[in-house]
Structure 1
Amino acid sequence: MSLLVPLAAALLMSTAQFPLATQVQLPSGETVELAADFLTYEADKQLLTARGHCELRTGEMLLRSDEVTYDEANQVATATGNVMFVGPGGMAAVADDVRVDIRTFEATLKGGLFMQKKGVTQEAMLAAKSPEELRSMGETPVLLSGSRIRRTGPNAFVVDDLAFTPCECGPDEPSWRMEASSANVVLGERATLSWPVVYVQSVPVFALPWVYLPLSERRTGFLIPSPSASGLNGFSVQQPFFLTLGRSYDMTLTPGYYTGSGFETREFLFDDDANPDTPLARTSYRQPKQVGVKGPRLLTEFRYVPSERTRGRVTLGLLHDSRPLRDPRTSDFYYYPRVDGEPPRYVDVPRGWRGEASWQHLQDLGSGWFDRVDAAFVSDGFYTRDLNADILIQGVDYLRSSATVYQRQADLYAGLDVSLRQDIRFPYRFFQENRVPAGAFNPQGQVDLPRPKTFQRLPGIVFSLPERPLEDLLGLTGGLRAEFTRLAPFSGGFGDEGVDGIFRQDGKYIPPGLKGESPIDLGQSNGLFDSGDREARDRIDFTSRLSTSVALGNAARLTPSLSLRQDVWAGEYSGKTWQRGYPIAGLLLDTQLVRTWAGEKSAVRHAITPSLELRYVPGGWGSVPFVRSGDGDFAQPYDEIDFAVPLTRGGATRGFFQGVLAVEQSLRLKTGNWIREPLRLRLGQGFDLTRYVPAANKPFDIDSQPILRDTFARVSTSAGILNGGAMVRFDPNTGRFTQLSADFSIDDGKGHALYARYDDVLTVSDQAFNRGEPRNAVGPDSIRRPLDALVGSLSRETPGLFATERTQALIAGTRLMLGFGLGVRYEALVQPPSQDPTNREISQIRFSNPLTQQTLGVSYGPACDCWRVEGVVTLRRDLGLEFSGVNFTVAGLGSFGSGG
């Protein structure tokens, strides 16, 4: 290796006598300094010998040993005793003996070890007096040794019996290594190994026929393959390949293959024609599982950092799925028409090409201008569910993407943005037609199945002047915000949801209180603009605010404010326009009681802040967009600005007078310049006093509404390694907790952690929702305040529908380091048993286990933590126990595996 360059100086030593320190010129023209305590040449033997503190030095390289000999007849140079070499770029080597054949440029080493150093200067390495001192310097991200080395280029070598360790272990006893019978090595670039075997603490772990390993932080080459096995997709393997495209760009290509999860057995009931009086006959049949994928996949990831102001990442994944095509209306396979007495037969048409794409980009354009992109797209609604068995990932309903260009200054914000959503609740394909395959059972007669039209923000323009003191009006602060928003589907001008304004997967319409068979919503996806369809709209929203602050002596502070919101809408399909406006009066009265305990090096501050906030909207003019039906007008708001205040049925502003009485406590600790807040607690009670004030467009039931609204409490705490928080919402009118949430974490920063989160939310049952009940009728969705209000509406259940239900979930986990390099992590998702109102007995058996998902990972790594290998198993309530894969992390090379 690089030892050969300085050792070649021996080739130039001829029969002349040399002083104890002299200069010698190499064939390359480079000059080296040769020094030793004793230097002789035996002419009859043609043998040059240098003994005692032998040193060969160039400007950037240094070779030291106890003795150097050169056999001129056989052209062999030998360095023995405490051999150490220091080269450029952090290269260093030590050996007991080195023998170099000058004719073949082959070197035989005894006790040889090459090291790539970092965290130490070249001058410090050149000043090292012994191999032990050189070994202990700085960090050693690369260790490499071999028994025979042949130089093939300036920094290229062929190595026999190579041992390679790309980590920052101690150079004397690396905890792991990769050995190979032979290897091609280019220093600072790569190592190509033939039949390498990985050893962990001298125990062979696995072997490969060939491997390419980079010897730098960014070097083209194959990375470690990642196998995995799951009940969702069977066995899969992926082989990443890292490609360097210059200093600022790189790419990772990851081909892989999924074997699929096999078949499942189903039962089929049918009439026995031979014995018509007997009960239904039962038989079983096999078909592929509905979820999961099968086939090859290629994932490409491109990263770029062309400057300090710009960075980003683009990913593209393509998958050819040979699983049978799914019917997006039922999420099951397509089936051929039924034949009496025979089990169902699925239509074996492959799903074909599927894919994913994402783009993350951040750029500072200068002069206060920035742009940002955070986008993700999938080819169909079930792409994420088919590739990820994780319960939490499968529960995502929408995939959101956004892009914005904005200017941000101290007193100004202006931006243009686009926000897109993909509805991934159903398995509809987004970029190709959802056609019913030939021969499939098709009672509705539709050939092309229209997918839901999700509304997008295309685009949004925002101009804002944050609140600031007004120079001409002493004591007043003011601010304004103007926004243009276009909410529309990609095409068609309207959503085509049908009569109820909601896209339903099976196309049926379920009016409130209807029992029995539900009718088909003939307005859904019929291509006509019906009464319940949402149309594309353009909206201009203008909001301004004035406020001042008045001190009430030393006791309290009074902050009155006056705001105005004005909105104008234009329907792109109907051509209709609407406008709505209303004033907002606000008043905040607060005070603070503070006590401080000061010490020599620290101080403790305790503050109690009671406050009363009032907000009054006398009513307004105009209304939000509405639609007309046989039952009269009903409002059709889209987003949080449309919902900014309570609305009447027809969309007019419902005046209100609301208040929130709260008290907040905080505890702060200051040590030097470091301030932390170990405790903050806020208690509050909401009020709706509307029935005591005149209100325009007063709804008929306003006088019957109670004054008290939700009672809430929030707490956050932090004490050393402990962090926690909790949120409680209580409805005093029904006597029910609408929300209970809590979380905590303990992390000592040494690999030991414990964390948990619990959520208990009162929600509308699925049965009530399927009967037309809105999702925000009860629970925190109901009491959540609108944008310009202080409290939300009442939480009510519609008589005659299914009762509300509680949605509960507990996520808890821990990470532990058990010593001897062993690590364990465990996480569990706990949900209570579900209840099926149609068959409670079956439901209790099926969902008796509240542990929805459990993940266990066991890992091992050395004390230096330069590498860690982890095996992961997952137990899911519906899929059973499965091996999720192996994760392997190597310092300097990255993490490879299947996650879990």
Structure 2
Amino acid sequence: MSLLMPVAAVLLVSAQLPLSTQLQLPTGETAELAADYVFYEREQRVLTARGHAVLSSGSVVLRADEVSYDQAHETAVARGNVMLVNGLMAAVADELTVDLESSEASVQGGLFMEKRGVTPQQLLQAQTPQELRDLGETPVLMSGRRIKRTGDNVYQVEGIALAPCLCGESVPSWRVEASSARVEMGQYASLTLPVVFVRSVPVLAVPWLYLPLSERQSGLLFPRPTSSAISGFGLELPVFITLGRSYDLTLTPGFNLGGGEVDVTRTIGNESITRQEPQNYGVRGPRLLTEFRYAPAVGTEGRVTLGLLYDLQPVRNPVSAGFFLSDTGELIRTPRGLRGEASLQHRQDLGGGWYDRIEAFAISDGFYTRDFTADVVARAAQYLSSSGVIYRRGEDQWVGLEVGLRQDIRWGYDLFGRSMVPPGASTPTTITAAPRTFQKLPTLSWVLAERPLGGSRLMGGMRVEFTRLSPLTSLFGDEGLDGHFESDGHWTLPGGTVREPDVAQGNGVFDGADREARDRVDLLPRLSTSFALGSFARLSPALSVRQDFFLGEVTGRAAQRGYPILDLVLDSRLGRTFALGGVSLLHSIEPSITLRYVPTVWGDLPSPGAMPGSPGQPYDEIDAALPSTPEGVARRFLHAVVELNQTLHSRGGSSREELLRLSVGQGFDLSRFAPTLGSGLSGNGEALARDTFGRLSARLGRFSGTGMLRYDPNSRQITQLSADFRVDVPQANIYARYDDLLAEGSDRLRRSLDALVGPAPKNVQRAQFLTAGTQANFGFGLGLRYEALLQPQTRSESPLLQQTFGVSYGPACNCWRVEGLARLARGQACPEFGLNLTVTGIGTFGTGG
């Protein structure tokens, strides 16, 4: 059928009226053409439509100032304000030429856009190219010299320029240009010889690039180069794999070249030899990190990671981190072999008020974290904690089963406490057996929230907890004669400073003061009430009893300990409202006196090891919930805290904001004046006063800060001085935090679970840390951040412990951001370098920090 058979009749209609006709295209599709004027040149067989020309076929609509169709050559040309809409794919151009037989198109000044957050009907209603560009969001923007449609939403493009995120900007902040590409709109772009441009500056060129064009599209992510003083140059190539709508997988193969070797001087016999040896920390070799994420249903989500590394660096001593030597003093270069990490993070709503949560982490050996990170805070971690809990939460009660695990990473033993000595190594001393860390296997808890009892003002509640504390693969800790693990296998004689080998530590026999696996039932019922004393004060008494039952799993010895706890709180509140500069302010004064009294203690903790009758040994915070004598015997006590709180709030409508809070107080140990019930020591030799403290928090506009001061009047020392502040200004912030405290100086650290004030500090060390930094984002996409960590009390070394400097770049919408990091720790000659890339909807990939 001739394409223009209906046109002859149409041309008899006045040209002053809009014309509309149906056309049959060579592809067999039917199109409708409408315009202000329609002309047909019979000799050239060219149909021309001018003035608001609209060519539509199914879901495809083409608008232009002029549309012409050459029947002889089967080509169509659209000129002036060209707009093309096909579902959620839209295009604008100055001129568009289409070969209808081959589906190839040549474009001048054209842009192809993938739209989101808008319907196809809304796109069809757009009347101008700018209106079409402004509708919805544009996650993908593409241009090209020649475009050929090879399938449904699939195009072969020559001279492509692709911007995966427009973010409302008239000019994309970054783009990828390539000689050719295969593009499936909304899915992916396979680019040949691509070059990445940022603000028209070329920053990366690769032979080929697979670029996802959706939030959940499989593909190769950006490479992640790293540079480390201990592990050298490294490169990782993450691959993102979509496994349906609810699952995805990221595989990240990589390789570290190692940090190189340094000069080491060793004494071999009577001769000193200097030679090249690897550094003690760091890795070298291939690595594969696998990350699996899932969210199959509402209320269920999780993340599983598994990292494997074949480390080519030499095996180390797990205690000293030094290398093994042969009898002739040569370095044993047996590789460390397979190492790795694993984690599971899972939460789920099981229905019926039941929930579960898992936070599990494990590494192959205690040196793993220190080999991979330069951050001094992360390197100082001593334990890796994991937990899993299933619980039911109701309106007034909670019941749960928890398993808690800790991996000791203070030394380099493997996950199961083993150490490797390579063949041919000379070991003058035996490696100390690894510590057996105690775990919660498991804890079963039931908590009944306090509720009114009958129609009285009396409130009652209850907590019941069963806990089994045991090493994972043994029934005792094997700590030795003193009940404490020492990495050198020695212990200090009582009453002296002489250290001798602890023959009972790590001998595999339950003896000395070894801690045995212990089962404990902890009961804590509580009764409380509160009533007014006139119109200015309130009195709140409470009585609770903590009763513990213990059973040793090795000796079978049973024990119990219990004590009542009497609490009395007397407080008041005075408030005044006044206006200042048109703002309503509320000033409150709240004095309070808190007393806590344990009049008697019955029973004691189980004796440790093979020494029945010796003082009991606490395992956790519940066991250590009472003050004790130097012999470890728990005693009764009477503690008091006098405190005065002041607050200042601003009020506006129904909202209220706290501007200032100041608290000052004094703790007292009044045990010598407590009525005596039962036997025990009263603590007559200790001072009455404990910490004097003050706390301050303030917020005013963009400024906020807190401060904490504790002073021990007995030792005349400041036991804690902490302060932090933050200033938020447009596009930037400045922050700092300072901590100066004795090892046991903070009352929060000194105070046990049930005691109200802690014991006076003795033989403690001072620790000081200052963290300060700033972050700034500039209007043209550049971001800077700097953070410094200092130890001001350091005398022999520089107080500057670590510095971190980051430079980032990203568009204003922050749909992606790339950041380069440099971290310099004390004693390092060269900083550690890293790179992070954050892509909205995909995540962050890089070195962290």
TM-score bracket for the superposition, by shorter chain length: over 0.9
Is the aligned partner of 1:795 residue 2:764? no
Is the aligned partner of 1:488 residue 2:470? yes
The secondary structure found in structure 2 opposite 1:814 is strand
Q: Residue 394 of structure 2 corresponds to which residue in structure 1?
A: 409
Q: Deviations for 1:43-96, whole angstroms, at most 9, x for unmatched residues?
A: 33222222221112356432101122222222212112211012213x210011
Separation (CA, whole Å) in 2 of partners of 1:365 and 1:252: 28
Offset of residue 405 of structure 1: 0.8
Separation (CA, whole Å) in 2 of partners of 1:824 and 1:353: 38
Find 1:873's aligned residue among 798, 801, 822: 822
Q: How does 1:97-496 map to 2 (within 5 A)?
A: 97-170=95-168, 172-269=170-267, 282-337=272-327, 339=328, 344-431=329-416, 433-444=418-429, 450-472=433-455, 474-496=456-478
- Tell whether the 8 Å contact from 2:608 to 2:617 is kept in structure 1 after alignment: yes
Separation (CA, whole Å) in 2 of partners of 1:202 and 1:444: 64
Q: Deviations for 1:726-764, whole angstroms, at most 9, x for unmatched residues?
A: 22221110001111111122223x43011111111213x
Q: Which moved more, 1:193-202 or 1:825-834?
A: 825-834
Q: Residue 884 of structure 1 corresponds to which residue in structure 2?
A: 833
Q: Which moved more, 1:354-363 or 1:595-604?
A: 595-604
Offset of residue 697 of structure 1: 6.5
Separation (CA, whole Å) in 2 of partners of 1:325 and 1:834: 33
- Tell whether the 8 Å contact from 2:672 to 2:682 is kept in structure 1 after alignment: no
Offset of residue 604 of structure 1: 2.2
Q: Deviations for 1:566-613, whole angstroms, at most 9, x for unmatched residues?
A: 110111111111011111112111011111236999642211110001
Q: Which moved more, 1:115-124 or 1:357-366?
A: 115-124
Distance 1:510 1:346, change over 3 A: farther
Offset of residue 367 of structure 1: 2.0
Distance 1:436 1:887, change over 3 A: closer
Distance 1:354 1:831, change over 3 A: same
Distance 1:445 1:401, change over 3 A: closer
- Tell whether the 8 Å contact from 2:516 to 2:609 is kept in structure 1 after alignment: no
Distance 1:14 1:713, change over 3 A: farther
1:488 is matched by which residue type in structure 2? S
Q: How does 1:43-54 map to 2 (within 5 A)?
A: 43-54=42-53
TM-score, normalization: structure 2?
A: 0.94
Offset of residue 674 of structure 1: 2.7
Offset of residue 155 of structure 1: 1.0
Is the aligned partner of 1:822 residue 2:782? yes
2:132 is matched by which residue type in structure 1? L
Q: Which moved more, 1:403-412 or 1:692-701?
A: 692-701
- Tell whether the 8 Å contact from 1:710 to 1:783 is kept in structure 2 after alignment: no
Offset of residue 268 of structure 1: 3.2
- Tell whether the 8 Å contact from 2:417 to 2:434 is kept in structure 1 after alignment: no
1:814 is matched by which residue type in structure 2? T
Is the aligned partner of 1:560 residue 2:541? yes
Q: Residue 15 of structure 2 corresponds to which residue in structure 1?
A: none
Offset of residue 551 of structure 1: 0.9
Q: Residue 14 of structure 2 corresponds to which residue in structure 1?
A: none
Q: Whose relative contact order is higher, 1 or 2, with alpha carbons under 8 Å and at least 6 apart?
A: 1
Q: How does 1:658-669 map to 2 (within 5 A)?
A: 658-669=639-650
Find 2:519's aligned residue among 525, 538, 550: 538
The secondary structure found in structure 1 opposite 2:546 is strand
Distance 1:270 1:488, change over 3 A: closer
Could you tell me the percent identity over the aligned residues?
51
- Tell whether the 8 Å contact from 2:95 to 2:107 is kept in structure 1 after alignment: yes
Q: How does 1:16-27 map to 2 (within 5 A)?
A: 16-17=7-8, 19=10, 20-24=19-23
Offset of residue 16 of structure 1: 4.0
Q: Residue 698 of structure 2 corresponds to which residue in structure 1?
A: 717
Separation (CA, whole Å) in 1 of partners of 2:80 and 2:560: 92
Find 1:762's aligned residue among 730, 742, 759: 742
The secondary structure found in structure 2 opposite 1:742 is strand
Separation (CA, whole Å) in 2 of partners of 1:676 and 1:486: 45
1:387 is matched by which residue type in structure 2? F
Separation (CA, whole Å) in 2 of partners of 1:535 and 1:30: 84
Q: Which moved more, 1:620-629 or 1:783-792?
A: 620-629
Offset of residue 529 of structure 1: 0.5
Offset of residue 258 of structure 1: 0.8
Separation (CA, whole Å) in 1 of partners of 2:840 and 2:440: 43
CA RMSD of aligned residues (A): 2.4
Distance 1:513 1:294, change over 3 A: farther
Q: How does 1:503-518 map to 2 (within 5 A)?
A: 503-511=485-493, 514-515=496-497, 518=499
The secondary structure found in structure 1 opposite 2:640 is strand
Distance 1:445 1:359, change over 3 A: closer
Distance 1:108 1:591, change over 3 A: same
Distance 1:17 1:519, change over 3 A: farther
- Tell whether the 8 Å contact from 1:728 to 1:741 is kept in structure 2 after alignment: yes
Q: Which moved more, 1:638-647 or 1:396-405?
A: 638-647
TM-score, normalization: structure 1?
A: 0.89
- Tell whether the 8 Å contact from 2:374 to 2:832 is kept in structure 1 after alignment: no
Offset of residue 257 of structure 1: 0.7
Separation (CA, whole Å) in 2 of partners of 1:629 and 1:894: 54
Distance 1:602 1:120, change over 3 A: farther
The secondary structure found in structure 2 opposite 1:811 is strand
The secondary structure found in structure 1 opposite 2:788 is strand
Q: Deviations for 1:3-31, whole angstroms, at most 9, x for unmatched residues?
A: xxxxxxx9955574364123446677765
Offset of residue 702 of structure 1: 1.6
The secondary structure found in structure 2 opposite 1:133 is helix
The secondary structure found in structure 2 opposite 1:393 is helix
Is the aligned partner of 1:577 residue 2:555? no
Separation (CA, whole Å) in 2 of partners of 1:515 and 1:599: 65
Distance 1:514 1:209, change over 3 A: farther
- Tell whether the 8 Å contact from 2:747 to 2:757 is kept in structure 1 after alignment: no
Separation (CA, whole Å) in 2 of partners of 1:892 and 1:657: 57
- Tell whether the 8 Å contact from 1:168 to 1:864 is kept in structure 2 after alignment: no
2:293 is matched by which residue type in structure 1? R
Offset of residue 872 of structure 1: 2.0
1:695 is matched by which residue type in structure 2? T
The secondary structure found in structure 1 opposite 2:515 is coil
Offset of residue 630 of structure 1: 7.8
Offset of residue 562 of structure 1: 1.1
Is the aligned partner of 1:810 residue 2:770? yes
The secondary structure found in structure 1 opposite 2:666 is strand
Find 1:735's aligned residue among 716, 732, 743: 716
The secondary structure found in structure 2 opposite 1:65 is strand
Offset of residue 412 of structure 1: 0.8
Is the aligned partner of 1:548 residue 2:514? no
- Structure 1, unpaired ranges of 5+: 1-9, 273-280, 764-777, 798-803, 836-843
Offset of residue 437 of structure 1: 2.0
Q: Residue 854 of structure 1 corresponds to which residue in structure 2?
A: 803
Offset of residue 400 of structure 1: 0.5
- Structure 2, unpaired ranges of 5+: 11-18
Find 2:731's aligned residue among 726, 729, 751: 751
The secondary structure found in structure 2 opposite 1:361 is strand
Separation (CA, whole Å) in 2 of partners of 1:286 and 1:657: 64
Separation (CA, whole Å) in 1 of partners of 2:585 and 2:25: 72
Q: Deviations for 1:418-477, whole angstroms, at most 9, x for unmatched residues?
A: 11100000000114742322221223456xx632111111111111111111125x1101
